[in-house]
Amino acid sequence: MNQPLTVDQIRRAPKVLLHDHLDGGLRPATVVELARETGYTGLPTYDAQELGRWFREASDSGSLERYLETFAHTTAVMQTRDALVRVAAEAAEDLAADGVVYAEQRYAPEQHLEAGLTLEEVVEAVQEGLELGEKRAADQGRSIRTGQLVTAMRHAARSSEIAELAVRYRDAGVSGFDIAGAEAGNPPTRHLDAFEYLRRENFHFTIHAGEAFGLPSIWEALQWCGCDRLGHGVRIIDDIDTDGGAPRLGRLAQYVRDKRVPLEMCPSSNVQTGAAESIADHPIRLLRDLRFRVTVNTDNRLQSGTSLSEEFARLSEAFGYGWDDLQWFTVNAMKSAFLPFDERLALINGVIKPGFAQLKWATS
């Protein structure tokens, strides 16, 4: 077993983040400051350190529904153009400081309209913020590229409208589409019109599936909706028989592996919502061993009190993962990004592989 890599070591590695919610990545101090600026009085505490701890503890319930309740506070302070610009800029800066070279930021525009913004104004404000954050990172000697994943809420009825919004901004910062929210009782097939429109427009989309709900959610997301990636997808483990001898894949698991469907796994978040009992028990190890297209992500950095470097460090400690494993996960993520092929290849060959080669040499 390799000596576990530390967070400081991993922070120097070039990383790719596909599953990170903008409204789940705010700095606690920013939540407090925006609440005071906008007059929001619903926070459980206005001490930034205590608030950060509250978000983590409130998210450790083992229930996805309870976990999602914490977002009422973050979305409440993200209702103005200036707030959206600030949050997006800080997200890009924070990710760059963690060594992330490419990130897709997802959020639901329909949740940011309470102060009178239009859907278009929300998308434009987030894009302005991401570009500002990229520039600030560059000024500090760090390079990051970001894209938006415009998200519809699966319990609402605006998915077609949001899908059309995403396509309108495909050349102005929006890389793809997503649906999110509680899976149980809200199957992705309710939004078939949106997905059929996206396929006609040759547009990329991912679907939250197989997190709190099981194989039917994954099957519908793939076979009915035609998604490019699975948000989480952790419950695909239910279609793999591990009793006695070599693992045996069921038909759905075999299809997911054969088709190289990317799994946007979020280890710490999966433990918090009850999708996995612990990091050590997370299905990511078996799925990696079986060569599924596994990627590692943060989901919600505020609620999980995490970063991508910390997620990798936890996996390294639990499973002995070294630089080769981290590079494998990272290349998987870059291959699966919603970017043109040549741009993905340029980042893999020009940034990711050279960056890991340098780290391997320095620590050999």
Residue linked to tokens 């097939």: 189
In the DSSP assignment, the letter for residue 223 is I
Give the DSSP letter string of 79-144.
-SHHHHHHHHHHHHHHHHHTTEEEEEEEE-GGGS-TTS--HHHHHHHHHHHHHHHHHHHHHTT---
Strand partners of residue 21? 106
**Count of beta carbons in the 10 Å neighbourhood of residue 288:** 20
Residue 58 makes CB contacts below 8 A (sequence gap 6+) with: 66, 69, 70, 303
Give the DSSP letter string of 310-334.
HHHHHHHHHH---HHHHHHHHHHHH
114 is catalytic: no
Strand partners of residue 101? none
Within 223-333, strands assigned E span 229-232, 240-241, 248-249, 263-265, 294-296
Phi, psi of 31 (to 5 degrees): -60, -45
Are the beta carbons of 6 and 342 closer than 8 angstroms? no
**Count of beta carbons in the 10 Å neighbourhood of residue 89:** 21
Say which of 90, 104, 134, 211 is annotated catalytic: 211
Helix, strand, or coil (residue 153): strand
Within the chain, strands assigned E span 15-21, 100-107, 145-153, 174-180, 206-209, 229-232, 240-241, 248-249, 263-265, 294-296
Nearest one of 19, 102, 6 to 331, comparing CA atoms: 102
Residues 210, 215, 217, 220, Cα dihedral to 10°: 130
The one-letter amino acid code at 120 reads: E
As a whole number of angstroms, the distance between CA 329 and CA 118 comes to 38
Active site residues: 211
